[in-house]
Each structure stands twice: as structure tokens, then as C-alpha cells.
């Protein structure tokens, strides 16, 4: 399928911008007091998220915010503001769990789902594992709760669908690229400068724009390993302006992209092993 026939409106490339808030819920999940050197998640709540809301307003673009239930119940007004600004609010664990949940997993998925729905007035339909972990319980629980997509996988350059199962509808997998289009590993593992990260993002975008056309860009608005601070946020904005300036780019929330794929399931069911 050619890119012009693949994406909405005949676009050559779709750009999905995802913001993983990762506030103090990360520290809470690790049993840490979110103060001193462990306060970088609080930066997202105090400064980073607002910085990105202002940025998206300037750029006139929608984004998908992946949020943790613990942060939403602690700072509900911030998440209402995200929703009121027209952005998608999606689920990202309760306390950014990075351990094996066992039989507790469905209950935590349900808890976060309920917190988000009650706080912003709209139930989430998208989820991304906070740790990359998934089990035999994950997708059945998400499907039962009415989710339409998962954004945890890193196994393809394009979205794909899991077929209907046990009476549940098709389910969209929207892979994310944590190697070159996610800020966190670049700043933490690569110890890169903001200018170096920007150069990499532009190179990756240009290559994808000339190929399959699915760009899934991820930022964390925290301090430390994220892009919440001014210079790194400026690099993210410069990248988004570069992407906006290219011909044939459609900017979608992950929810909108999932709905696009689910509307034509035969075209998106994966033939790969």
C-alpha cells in the first residue's frame, strides 16, 4: 500500500506526538520520597506539562498525554486542563509500575482507568505500558475496559491490528520507537546535548517521511532524563516545526490514528509473523 493511500486525507506521513508525563508517581512506585534528587518528576507537574501545553497551543497541534493514575488523583486540575485543551488523555499505569504485577494487574488497570474517566470526564481508549512489560492478563483486561489501542510495542515501522478475539473487536497496536524518537534514552543512556538530539530527530523524521511515513515522537516533560527544561523543550519545538513544514504531514492523536486503522481492518491486520 502506498503512503498516499495509507494515511488520512492522502497524507504522505502521519506524526503522532506523545507526552509521557511520568510525574512523582514514578518515585511513589519505587517507595521514594519525591524530594531532593528524586524531585525530577515533580518538575513535570510544576513546569514541564504547562510548557508543552503552551507549545502545542503555539503550534496548533494535538498530542496524546500518557498519564499515571496516582498523578491524576493528586493533581486533577492539571489533567483537566490537558483534556480541556483538546488533547488525548491515555493510560500509563497507576504508579508507573516497573515490576511484575501478577494477579494484581487487572485491578490496577481498572483503577487507573476509573481515575482518568472520573477526573477528565472521558474514559481513556489508549494505553502504553509504563515499563514495557505485558502479560497474558494485559490485553484481555484492556479489551474488556473498552480500550482500542496499545502503544507499548517496538516491533514494527507501521501500526497493525490484532484480530477480533472472544467477542472483542479488532485492537490496534501503534508501535513506538524508543531508540531514536524518544528523548529519555538519548539523554540518559546517550548523555547527548539538546542540539545533538534535535539533529538525530530531524534525520529520523526525514528518513521516515521518505519511507513508510509513521512518526511516533515521544517526550517526557520532567527534568533529568526528559525534555521538560527550557533548552530541551526548545529542541522538541524545533523538531516539531521542522516536521510541520514538510509537505503532506498529518498530525494526529494516537486515538485518531487507531480509529483510522480500525475503520479498515483488512488493510491493517499484520501479515508478518
Q: What is the pLDDT of residues 177-210, one digit of tens each?
A: 877 899 999 998 888 999 999 999 999 999 999 9
> Largest Cα–Cα distance in the chain?
52
The CATH number of residue 143's host domain is 3.20.20.370
Strand residue runs (E) in 52-190: 64-67, 88-91, 126-127, 149-150, 160-162, 171-173
Residue 247 lies in a domain: yes
User: Minimal CA–CA distance to 230: which of 47, 58, 21?
Assistant: 47
Q: What is the DSSP letter of 47?
A: I
Rg of the Cα trace of the chain? 18
Sole residue written with cell 484480530 = 163
| Cα–Cα distances in angstroms (integers) from residue 236 to residues 9, 22, 33, in the given order | 26, 17, 29
- Whether residue 270 is predicted with pLDDT greater than 80 in this model: the reply is no
pLDDT at 271: 57
Beta bridge partners of 171: 162
Residue 21 lies in a domain: yes
Which of 11-15, 18-22, 179-183, 225-229 has the weakest average pLDDT?
A: 179-183
Q: Which residues of 7-42 are buried (b: 16+ CB within 10 A; e: fewer)?
A: beeebbbbbbbbbbbbbbbbbbbeeeebeeeebbbb
205-211 long-range contacts (CB < 8 A, ≥24 apart) are 205/15, 205/239, 205/242, 205/243, 205/246, 208/13, 208/157, 209/12, 209/13, 209/246, 209/249, 211/157
Query: How sure is the predictor about 45, in pLDDT bands with cuts at 50, 70 and 90?
Result: very high
- Whether residue 37 is predicted with pLDDT greater than 90 in this model: the reply is no
Phi, psi of 36 (to 5 degrees): 60, -130
Q: What is the pLDDT of residues 98-147, one digit of tens each?
A: 767 788 899 999 999 999 999 999 999 999 999 888 989 999 999 999 99
pTM confidence score: 0.94
Q: Number of structural domains, the chain? A: 1
Residue 15 lies in a domain: yes
Q: What is the mean pLDDT of residues 47-64?
A: 98
Residue 273 lies in a domain: no
Residue 199 lies in a domain: yes
Sole residue written with cell 492539571 = 78
Q: What is the pLDDT of residues 65-97, one digit of tens each?
A: 999 999 999 999 999 999 999 999 999 999 988
Residue 257 lies in a domain: yes
Phi, psi of 128 (to 5 degrees): -135, 130
Question: In terms of residue numbers, what domain contains 137?
Answer: 3-268
Amino acid at each position: 500500500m502506498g503512503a498516499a493511500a495509507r494515511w488520512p486525507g492522502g497524507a504522505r506521513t502521519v506524526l503522532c506526538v506523545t507526552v509521557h508525563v511520568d510525574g512523582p508517581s514514578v518515585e511513589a512506585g519505587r517507595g521514594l520520597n519525591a524530594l531532593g534528587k528524586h524531585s525530577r518528576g515533580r518538575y513535570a507537574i510544576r513546569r514541564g506539562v504547562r510548557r508543552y501545553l503552551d507549545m502545542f497551543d503555539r503550534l496548533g497541534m494535538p498530542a496524546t498525554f500518557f498519564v499515571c493514575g496516582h498523578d491524576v488523583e493528586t493533581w486533577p486540575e492539571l489533567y483537566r486542563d490537558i483534556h480541556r485543551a483538546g488533547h488525548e488523555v491515555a493510560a500509563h499505569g497507576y504508579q508507573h509500575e516497573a515490576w511484575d504485577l501478577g494477579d494484581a494487574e487487572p485491578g490496577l488497570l481498572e483503577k487507573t482507568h476509573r481515575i482518568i474517566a472520573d477526573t477528565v470526564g472521558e474514559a481513556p481508549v489508549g494505553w502504553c505500558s509504563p515499563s514495557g512489560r505485558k502479560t497474558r492478563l494485559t490485553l484481555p483486561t484492556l479489551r474488556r475496559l473498552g480500550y482500542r489501542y496499545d502503544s507499548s510495542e517496538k516491533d514494527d515501522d507501521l501500526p497493525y491490528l490484532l484480530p477480533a478475539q472472544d467477542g472483542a473487536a479488532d485492537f490496534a497496536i501503534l508501535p513506538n520507537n524508543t531508540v531514536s524518537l524518544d528523548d529519555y534514552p538519548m539523554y540518559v543512556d546517550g548523555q547527548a546535548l539538546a542540539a545533538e538530539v534535535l539533529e538525530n530527530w530531524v534525520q529520523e523524521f526525514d528518513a521516515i517521511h521518505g519511507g513508510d511515513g509513521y512518526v511516533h515522537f515521544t517526550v517526557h516533560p520532567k527534568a533529568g532524563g526528559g525534555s521538560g527544561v527550557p533548552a530541551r523543550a526548545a529542541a522538541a519545538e524545533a523538531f516539531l516545526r521542522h516536521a510541520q513544514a514538510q509537505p503532506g504531514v498529518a498530525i494526529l492523536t494516537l486515538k485518531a490514528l487507531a480509529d483510522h486503522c480500525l475503520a479498515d481492518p483488512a488493510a491493517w491486520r499484520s501479515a508478518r509473523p
